[in-house]
Amino acid sequence: MPSSPGEQIFRLGRFRFDNGRELEEAHLSYRVFGALAPDRSNLVLHPSSYGAWLEELEWVVGPVLDPARWCIVLVSQFGNGRSSSPSNAAIGTAEQGWLIRHADNVRAQRRLLEEVFGVEAPALIYGWSMGAQQAYHWGVLEPERSRRLCCLCGTARTTPHNRLFLLSLRQALTADPAWNGVRFSATPEQGLRTFALIYASWAASQPFYAAGEHRRLGYATVDAYVEQAWLPAYRRHDPHDLLAMLDTWLASDVAAAAGCGDDLAAALGRIRAATCVIAGSHDLYFTPDDCRAEAALIPGARFLTLNSPLGHRAGNPRDHPREQALIRRAVDSLLPAP
């Protein structure tokens, strides 16, 4: 997969994943904006969301995170096609015994920060969606190294309803004739089209479509919006990468990762970081009620609802200045004054 300008590779060498599988040469891809302070106190870590590549994360640099103040490190999660993934490494499917967990992402990211930047405790871990899941895992698994968390439109544990959404996506792909029960023998064209339809119906809200926001983006119909915007966004990925990230999302559970069994309160109670949890008012994946309930389990956490018709994408408002400004204020309230 081609890298973006400025993209760098951190070589992890032999890496053992949480489920016991190993890679001889694992790696993380990352980008850096801004300069690291002499005391190394200003590093902000921004892990990637589902399917996002680094060039699609960089909109936060400026509107939300000031590169004149912060050293902003954007990092690709395992499985997204840039860091170690089925498409570029000897990583198989869940049917072949493979599973990447967020604990793996956290361990690899910790090494990146320590070995490349000499930073043990970043100033902030900022994440949207699957990035928020990683931020929660940082807070629970590395409580003494996590100073501040900003978790946008994500939960610390995948809920039963969210699980149904993810299983529908997985079924869409693996119902394609190109799936042989273990891997894809060709591009699953029909599976990807169904995948895009499901994703488009969940990611944006009912008010988004009712107001004709897809037309404002230049698409005459909802069908055209799916065909011309959503389908290409997923067709560009190796389908094995799409499955790997789905399985990571399905397995996301900080309680299990921390050895707390089913006790989510015990796991979230470990967080020592100053934490801001932000929910999208019309998010169908990570509902405000779900996010609020988890925030209540985190000592001292602040909970905010981002009122926006953008649905899940309210937390990733690349082209929406109003939502950007609201997120910027929440982030600034977490960080020390200049």
Q: Which residue numbers are catalytic?
A: 129, 283, 312
Using CA atoms, how far apart are residues 35 and 141, in angstroms rounded to an integer?
A: 27
Distance from C-alpha of 329 to C-alpha of 190, rounded to nearest angstrom: 43
Rounded to whole angstroms, the Cα distance separating 303 from 214 reads 30
Query: Can you spell out the DSSP letters for 73-89?
Result: EEEPPTTSSSSS-TTTS
Which of 274, 292, 294, 285 shows the shortest CA–CA distance to 315? 285
Q: Are 315 and 288 in contact (CB under 8 A)?
A: no
Other C-beta atoms closer than 10 Å to the C-beta of 330 total 18
- Chain position carrying tokens 């003494």: 144
CA atoms within 13 A on the CB side of 279: 21
CA dist 312 and 106 (Å) reads 24
| C-alpha to C-alpha distance for 45 and 13, rounded to whole angstroms | 22
Task: Report the 10 Å Cβ neighbour count for 208.
Answer: 19
- At a CB cut-off of 8 Å and minimum separation 6, what does 249 contact? 50, 130, 133, 158, 166
Q: Where would I find the H helices in the chain?
A: 54-57, 102-112, 130-141, 160-174, 189-203, 206-210, 213-216, 222-225, 231-235, 239-250, 254-257, 264-268, 288-295, 321-334
* Phi-psi map region of 118: left, alpha, beta (phi>0 left; psi -120 to 50 alpha): left
